[in-house]
Structure 1
Amino acid sequence: MPRDRDVKFRVVTAVQRYVANPLSRRLPFQTLVETTGRTSGLPRRTPVGGRRVGREFWFVSEYGEKSQYVRNIRADPKVRVRVGGRWHHGTAQLLPDDDPRARLASLPRMNSTAVRLFGKDLLTVRVDLTD
């Protein structure tokens, strides 16, 4: 069974990396999180489904610590988030003690459904916005 999960992870992440994400990043109102590449130092933009609540932006990583952008956040928590076509600076917090399935209930339904369907080792992320 673990091998099936590894294959699923590789297939889903390949489709996201080479097909879905490049297309989604071009949509002007797609929500994005921009991290700094931990090795390259270059900006890395990843489409996410989340919600702004006051001065915070919440989302759930479908592969937790295995997600490249989570690994980038761990190395440098300073991020930018594009919400509604506008960029905001902030500091990301990884919240392993938060219940990500409960959190998904408060986030946009379409993305939350995909995260539940394809995800494994879900991890809640909160970005404390500074502007």
Structure 2
Amino acid sequence: MRSRKYRIVTTVERLNNRLTRFALRKGIAPRAFALLETTGRRTGLPRHTPVGNGSAGDTFWLIAAHGTQADFVRNIQAHPAVRVKVGPTWRTGTAVVLPDDDAAARSRTLPYQWDAALGRMMASSPLTIRIDLDRNG
């Protein structure tokens, strides 16, 4: 059963995600955001989700605020090959769900702290995801 907090936050997030996804596709979004592309677990089609920019060299850190309730997390569990768009550049990688990682502590290491703080405040069951980015793109 989904919590009341989850239902309220996701209602607000739907509108925000549409606007942010549009801005990311057009290259006009703030650098604090990135676009995550997963493969739909049922359809096999590409799915795009705006996320906080957790880029750190060849690793991309991501905190899923609602854990395995989030569709993109379920997609990653079924198909760990992903792409991440930071600025104008897409990079491929492999996502690894880290259920034993301290997601709150990890979020404090991310480069854009105002976004990470909002994520911690809205999170219902935070979960860390590490994306190992391919060196060749």
TM-score, structure 2 normalization: 0.86
Of 8, 13, 19 in structure 1, the residue corresponding to residue 10 of structure 2 is 13
CA contact (8 A) 1:50 1:60 kept: no
Give per-residue Cα distances to partners, 1:88-122, cap 9 Å, x unaligned. Answer: 00000001111111111111112211111110211
What is the aligned partner in structure 2 of residue 129 from structure 1?
133
Contact 2:5 2:124 in 1 (8 A): no
- Percent identity among equivalent residues? 45
3-state SS of the aligned residue for 2:43? coil
- Residue 120 of structure 2 aligns with an amino acid whose one-letter code is R
Q: Structure 1: any 5+ residue segments left out of the alignment? A: none
**1:110 maps to which residue?**
114
Find the counterpart in structure 1 of residue 58 from structure 2: 55
Alignment of 1:81-120 (within 5 A): 81-107=84-110, 108-120=112-124
Q: Following TM superposition, by how much is the alpha carbon of 1:52 offset from its aligned partner in structure 2, in angstroms?
A: 1.5
Root-mean-square deviation (CA), in Å? 1.5
- After TM superposition, which residue ranges in structure 1, 4 or more long, deviate above 3 angstroms? none
CA deviation vs aligned residue, 1:5-53 (integer Å, no higher than 9, x gap): 7122112112222x11110011124411110111121111111113211
Amino acid at match of 2:97: L
Tell me, yes or no, if the aligned pair for 2:93 and 2:133 is still in contact at 8 Å: yes
> What TM-score, normalized by structure 1, do the two folds share?
0.90
Match for 2:123: what amino acid? G
Residue identity in the other structure for 1:55: D
> How many residues were matched structurally?
127
